[in-house]
Chains A and B, each alone.
Chain A
Amino acid sequence: MTNALDKELESVVIRFAGDSGDGMQLTGTQFTNATALHGNDLATFPDFPAEIRAPLGTLAGVSGFQIHFGSTRINTPGDTSDVLVAMNVAALKVNIKNLKKGGVIIINSDGFDAKNLRLANVPEVQNPLHDGSLADYDVKIIDITKITRAALSNSGLGTKEIDRCKNMFVLGLVYWMYHRPIENTLNFIKAKFKKNEAVMNANILVLQTGWNYGETTEMFANRFTVAPAKMESGVYRSIMGNQAAAYGLIAAANKSGLSLFYGTYPITPASDILHELSKYKNFDVKTFQAEDEIAAICSSIGAAFGGALAITGSSGPGIALKGEAIGLATMLELPLVIVNIQRAGPSTGLPTKTEQADLNQAMFGRNGECPLVIVSAQSPADCFYMAFEACRIALEHMIPVFFLSDGYIANGAEPWKYPSSADLPKINVEFKKARLADEEKFMPYQRDEKLSRPWALPGTKGLEHRIGGLEKQNITGNISYDASNHEFMVKLRQEKVDLVANHIPLQTIDNGEEAGELLILGWGGTYGALKTATSLLIDQGYKVSHAHLRYLNPFPKNLGEMLSRFKTVVVPELNNGQLVKIIRDRYFIDAIPYNKIQGMPFMSTEVVDKIKEILA
Chain B
Amino acid sequence: METATTDKLTAKDFSSDQEVRWCPGCGDYSILKQVQTILPDLGRPREEFVFISGIGCSSRFPYYMDTYGMHSIHGRATAVATGLKATRPDLSVWIVTGDGDSLSIGGNHFIHLLRRNPDVNVLLFNNQIYGLTKGQYSPTSEQGKVTKSTPMGSVDYPFNPIALSLGADATFVARTLDRDPKHQQNVIKKGYYHAGTSLIEIYQNCNVFNDGAFEVYTEKGTKKQNTLMMENGMPLLFGENNELGIKLDGFKPVIANLAETSINDIWVHDETDLVKATILSRFYDDPTVENHFPRPFGVFYVNNNKQTFNDLFNNQIDFAKKTYGAGDLDKLIAGKETWVVN
Task: Give A contacts to B, CB under 8 Å.
Answer: 33, 36-39, 184, 228-229, 231-239, 247, 250-251, 254, 259, 261, 263, 280-286, 288, 290-292, 294-296, 298-303, 305-308, 310, 324-325, 328, 332, 384, 417-421, 434-437, 439, 441, 457-470, 478-479
User: Which interface residue of A294, A325, A437, A478 has the most chain B CB atoms within 10 A?
Assistant: A294
* Cβ contacts under 8 Å, B289 to chain A: none
* Cβ contacts under 8 Å, A36 to chain B: 337, 339
A259–B87 CB distance below 8 A: yes
Q: Could you tell me the distance between the alpha carbons of A250 and B333 in the complex, rounded to whole angstroms?
A: 10
Task: Output the nearest chain A residue to B18 by Cβ-Cβ distance.
Answer: A478
Known: A281-B316, A458-B88. A237 touches B334 (CB 8 A): yes
Task: Give B contacts to A, CB under 8 Å.
Answer: 1-5, 16, 18, 45-48, 50, 52, 62-63, 65-73, 76, 78-88, 90-91, 108-109, 112, 313, 316-317, 319-321, 323-327, 329-330, 332-335, 337-342
Task: Output the nearest chain B residue to A325 by Cβ-Cβ distance.
Answer: B73
B68–A458 CB distance below 8 A: yes
* Cβ contacts under 8 Å, A39 to chain B: 339, 341
Known: A280-B332, A283-B327. A302 touches B81 (CB 8 A): yes
Known: A235-B340, A420-B330. A299 touches B73 (CB 8 A): no
Known: A37-B337, A235-B340, A250-B332. A468 touches B71 (CB 8 A): yes
Identify which of A184, A420, A460, A468 contacts B72 (C-beta below 8 A). A468
Known: A300-B83, A307-B87, A464-B46. A281 touches B338 (CB 8 A): no
B71–A469 CB distance below 8 A: yes
List 8 A-B pairs, minimum CB-CB distance, nearest first.
A468-B71, A299-B83, A302-B83, A283-B327, A462-B4, A298-B79, A281-B320, A302-B84
Identify which of B90, B327, B341 contacts A236 (C-beta below 8 A). B341
A33–B337 CB distance below 8 A: yes
What are 13 A-to-B residue pairs whose CB atoms are below 8 Å?
A: A37-B337, A38-B339, A232-B341, A233-B340, A236-B338, A261-B87, A286-B317, A291-B108, A303-B87, A306-B83, A308-B87, A466-B71, A468-B62
A288–B73 CB distance below 8 A: no
Task: Output the nearest chain A residue to B59 by Cβ-Cβ distance.
Answer: A468
B327–A282 CB distance below 8 A: yes
* Cβ contacts under 8 Å, A439 to chain B: 4
A237–B66 CB distance below 8 A: no
Q: Could you tell me the distance between the alpha carbons of A59 and B188 in the complex, rounded to whole angstroms?
A: 62
A303–B71 CB distance below 8 A: no
Task: Output the nearest chain B residue to A244 by Cβ-Cβ distance.
Answer: B333
B50–A458 CB distance below 8 A: yes
Identify which of B5, B68, B85, B109 contacts A437 (C-beta below 8 A). B5
Q: How far is the CB of A349 from chain B (nearest CB, A)?
A: 24
Identify which of A184, A251, A295 contacts B333 (C-beta below 8 A). A251
Q: Could you tell me the distance between the alpha carbons of A384 and B18 in the complex, rounded to whole angstroms?
A: 45
* Cβ contacts under 8 Å, A384 to chain B: 333
B109–A291 CB distance below 8 A: yes
Q: How far is the CB of B83 from chain A (nearest CB, A)?
A: 3
Task: Output the nearest chain A residue to B329 by Cβ-Cβ distance.
Answer: A421
Q: How far is the CB of B275 from chain A (nearest CB, A)?
A: 27
Q: Could you tell me the distance between the alpha carbons of A457 and B90 in the complex, rounded to whole angstroms?
A: 12
Q: How far is the CB of B180 from chain A (nearest CB, A)?
A: 28
B84–A305 CB distance below 8 A: yes
Known: A291-B112, A305-B70, A469-B71. A299 touches B80 (CB 8 A): yes
A sample of 8 more A-B contacts (CB under 8 A), given A250-B332, A332-B70, is A280-B332, A286-B317, A290-B79, A302-B82, A306-B87, A437-B3, A458-B88, A464-B66
A418–B334 CB distance below 8 A: yes
Q: Could you tell me the distance between the alpha carbons of A301 and B319 in the complex, rounded to whole angstroms?
A: 26
Known: A280-B332, A282-B321. A467 touches B70 (CB 8 A): yes
* Cβ contacts under 8 Å, A231 to chain B: 341
Q: Could you tell me the distance between the alpha carbons of A299 and B91 in the complex, rounded to whole angstroms?
A: 15
Q: How far is the CB of A333 from chain B (nearest CB, A)?
A: 12
B87–A295 CB distance below 8 A: no
* Cβ contacts under 8 Å, A436 to chain B: 4
* Cβ contacts under 8 Å, A295 to chain B: 76, 78-79, 82, 108-109, 112
A298–B76 CB distance below 8 A: yes
Known: A281-B321, A420-B330. A463 touches B109 (CB 8 A): no
Q: Could you tell me the distance between the alpha carbons of A614 and B329 in the complex, rounded to whole angstroms?
A: 47
Q: Could you tell me the distance between the alpha carbons of A579 and B80 in the complex, rounded to whole angstroms?
A: 33
Known: A306-B91, A332-B70. A284 touches B327 (CB 8 A): yes
B47–A458 CB distance below 8 A: yes
Q: How far is the CB of B341 from chain A (nearest CB, A)?
A: 5
Task: Output the nearest chain B residue to A462 by Cβ-Cβ distance.
Answer: B4
Q: Could you tell me the distance between the alpha carbons of A250 and B335 in the complex, rounded to whole angstroms?
A: 14
A466–B69 CB distance below 8 A: yes
Identify which of A251, A419, A463 contacts B47 (C-beta below 8 A). A463
Task: Output the nearest chain B residue to A424 by Cβ-Cβ distance.
Answer: B329
* Cβ contacts under 8 Å, B313 to chain A: 286, 288
* Cβ contacts under 8 Å, B62 to chain A: 466, 468
Q: How far is the CB of B130 from chain A (nearest CB, A)?
A: 18
A301–B334 CB distance below 8 A: no
User: Which interface residue of A280, A418, A468 has the most chain B CB atoms within 10 A?
Assistant: A468
Q: Could you tell me the distance between the alpha carbons of A153 and B313 in the complex, rounded to whole angstroms?
A: 48
Q: How far is the CB of B20 from chain A (nearest CB, A)?
A: 13
* Cβ contacts under 8 Å, B340 to chain A: 233-236
Q: How far is the CB of A106 from chain B (nearest CB, A)?
A: 26
Task: Output the nearest chain B residue to A332 by Cβ-Cβ distance.
Answer: B70
B335–A459 CB distance below 8 A: no
B326–A299 CB distance below 8 A: no
Q: How far is the CB of A467 from chain B (nearest CB, A)?
A: 6
A298–B72 CB distance below 8 A: yes
B341–A228 CB distance below 8 A: yes
Q: Could you tell me the distance between the alpha carbons of A305 and B52 in the complex, rounded to whole angstroms?
A: 11
Q: Could you tell me the distance between the alpha carbons of A228 and B339 in the complex, rounded to whole angstroms?
A: 11
Task: Output the nearest chain A residue to B327 by Cβ-Cβ distance.
Answer: A283
Q: Could you tell me the distance between the alpha carbons of A459 and B83 in the complex, rounded to whole angstroms?
A: 16
B73–A302 CB distance below 8 A: no
Q: Could you tell me the distance between the alpha carbons of A291 and B316 in the complex, rounded to whole angstroms?
A: 20
* Cβ contacts under 8 Å, B50 to chain A: 305, 458
Task: Output the nearest chain B residue to A334 by Cβ-Cβ distance.
Answer: B70
* Cβ contacts under 8 Å, B63 to chain A: 466, 468, 479
Q: How far is the CB of A331 from chain B (nearest CB, A)?
A: 10
* Cβ contacts under 8 Å, A466 to chain B: 16, 62-63, 65, 68-71
Task: Output the nearest chain B residue to A251 by Cβ-Cβ distance.
Answer: B329
Q: How far is the CB of A248 from chain B (nearest CB, A)?
A: 9
B333–A469 CB distance below 8 A: no
Q: Could you tell me the distance between the alpha carbons of A305 and B321 in the complex, rounded to whole angstroms?
A: 24
A459–B80 CB distance below 8 A: no
Identify which of B321, B323, B333 contacts A284 (C-beta below 8 A). B321
Q: Could you tell me the distance between the alpha carbons of A466 and B79 in the complex, rounded to whole angstroms?
A: 18
Identify which of B71, B76, B86, B338 contacts A235 (C-beta below 8 A). B338
Known: A461-B47, A464-B47. A280 touches B4 (CB 8 A): no
Q: Could you tell me the distance between the alpha carbons of A477 and B330 in the complex, rounded to whole angstroms?
A: 41
Q: Could you tell me the distance between the alpha carbons of A462 and B196 in the complex, rounded to whole angstroms?
A: 28
* Cβ contacts under 8 Å, A238 to chain B: 337
Q: How far is the CB of A386 from chain B (nearest CB, A)?
A: 15
Q: Could you tell me the distance between the alpha carbons of A259 and B87 in the complex, rounded to whole angstroms?
A: 8
B326–A461 CB distance below 8 A: no
User: Which interface residue of B3, B70, B317, B323 has the most chain A CB atoms within 10 A?
Assistant: B70
* Cβ contacts under 8 Å, A468 to chain B: 62-63, 69-72
Task: Output the nearest chain B residue to A298 by Cβ-Cβ distance.
Answer: B79
Q: How far is the CB of A477 from chain B (nearest CB, A)?
A: 10
Q: Could you tell me the distance between the alpha carbons of A301 and B323 in the complex, rounded to whole angstroms?
A: 30
